[in-house]
Amino acid sequence: MEILSGRSSIIIDTDPINVYNQAHPPFSFPIPAKDVMSVASRPDLRNENLMVFSSIEGDLALLKSMNLPANVKIVYDNTDGSWVRYYPYAFYRSINAEELYAKIDDFVVLDIREEFELFSGFIEGSVNIPFSSIMQEPVELDKNRKYAVVCAHGNRSRVAVELLSSKGIEVYDVPGGMQKWLETGLPVSYEED
């Protein structure tokens, strides 16, 4: 399949942002269907393979009516959610701070901030595995557990969730990270000297 050749591949998901935020193919970019042509035609993307996923029938009809450039290799009809069958864990999931607090016993909380960041407080019982470690070496996690990933503001956790989910781990991002946890007034512990 050409999409898996040595050239770079970019995955576009045309689902509305509220659908995209619930689940999407790993490392995909949310771009409305009406904008796919202008994105795919950009000079800096002409040598990239593009895959376009859509779960909305109207978006699929629009995409099929376009004369998309040759670098768009696949327009995938995901109206039945079928990509999840092929990659059962490989997608982005999230849980907000309040919901995580209410269901805390159902999760192992992974705090991926660097050790020096923990002075500002951490979730009681969380496990610290710094983002830098996750990116440099394989992390051994129990695939029979659910994990919630938290960082300072939610940027690193989003990347970590997509990476870990692609390894078959059921993992959820906590958008807004510890900043959101603290703003919500949820309890924290502080590192002892």
pLDDT of residue 5 exceeding 70, the answer is no
Residue pLDDT, tens place only, 144-160: 999 999 999 988 998 89
Average pLDDT over residues 9-20: 85
Average pLDDT over residues 40-52: 85
Q: Which long-range contacts (CB under 8 A, 24 or more apart) does 2-7 make?
A: 2/49, 2/73, 3/49, 3/51, 3/73, 3/74, 5/49, 7/47, 7/48, 7/49
Q: Which of 40-44, 75-79, 125-129, 147-151 has the lowest mean pLDDT?
A: 75-79
pLDDT of residue 8 exceeding 70, the answer is no
Average pLDDT over residues 55-82: 86
The percentage of residues in the chain with a pLDDT greater than 70, rounded to a whole number, is 90
Residue pLDDT, tens place only, 104-129: 999 999 999 999 999 989 999 999 99
Q: Which domains, ranges and CATH numbers included, belong to the chain?
A: 2-86 (3.40.250.10), 97-183 (3.40.250.10)
Burial (CB count within 10 angstroms: exposed 0-12, middle 13-18, buried 19+), residue 183: exposed
Q: What amino acid is encoded at 54 in this protein? A: S
Count of helix runs (H) and strand runs (E) in the chain: 8, 8
Q: What amino acid is encoded at 1 in this protein? A: M
Quote the CA–CA distance of 89 and 166 in Å, as a whole number: 7
